[in-house]
Structure 1
Amino acid sequence: MALLSRTFMASMLVSFMLVQYFTEAADHQFEMMGVNEALSPQPPTIDCRVACEGRCKLSKRPHLCKRACGSCCHKCSCVPPGTSGNYESCPCYFNLKTPRQTRKCP
């Protein structure tokens, strides 16, 4: 009976040590991931007002264009260059749709 009790206690001790080891290893891995993410550069911020003014300067309805462009810019953090087209440079901007499934962004 004493042998069974000692075996049980030894197995519990080994199990506890393994759990402790793997927990510390996982914590270390998450700390390393946090350090790498902190060192990565932040995406550039865009001034949506200026970008949309340039995009909408030739529009027949500039206020409507700027409002739509501004909401798209805030969601996508980009505006295609030029006054029309060039959607390949900002696919998020191109893919936003209205409830009627028409393109939202000018």
Structure 2
Amino acid sequence: MSRRLMLPLALAVVMQAGAAHADAIDGDWCSADGQRMSIRGDNITIPSGRQIAGNYSRHAFDYVIPPGDSGAGDTVNIILRSEYLAFSRQGANGDKPTEWRRCKDLNS
């Protein structure tokens, strides 16, 4: 391979590797109806405001709704669809999914 092609190829590889870190489910998420959640590794702040542990993978997260919250005992599955979009489903029947978008400003 010529030296002229090596530099652009190396830059492309480095840039792609950096972009891969941006597509994780970690972060702050907002729904159209005003709900918020925040995922940090195995920990999540659920829409009720409670902080609990769940099952994390880079593009998905699930947790069991704790006692005292609406839907207690149901499992919520969250799937990352793009860098800025995720969908969640609650319960065994997987009711209508909730759309989540990355929050622009948590103080608004």
* TM-score, structure 2 normalization: 0.30
Higher helix share: 1
* TM-score, structure 1 normalization: 0.30
Higher strand share: 2
Which structure: larger Rg? 1
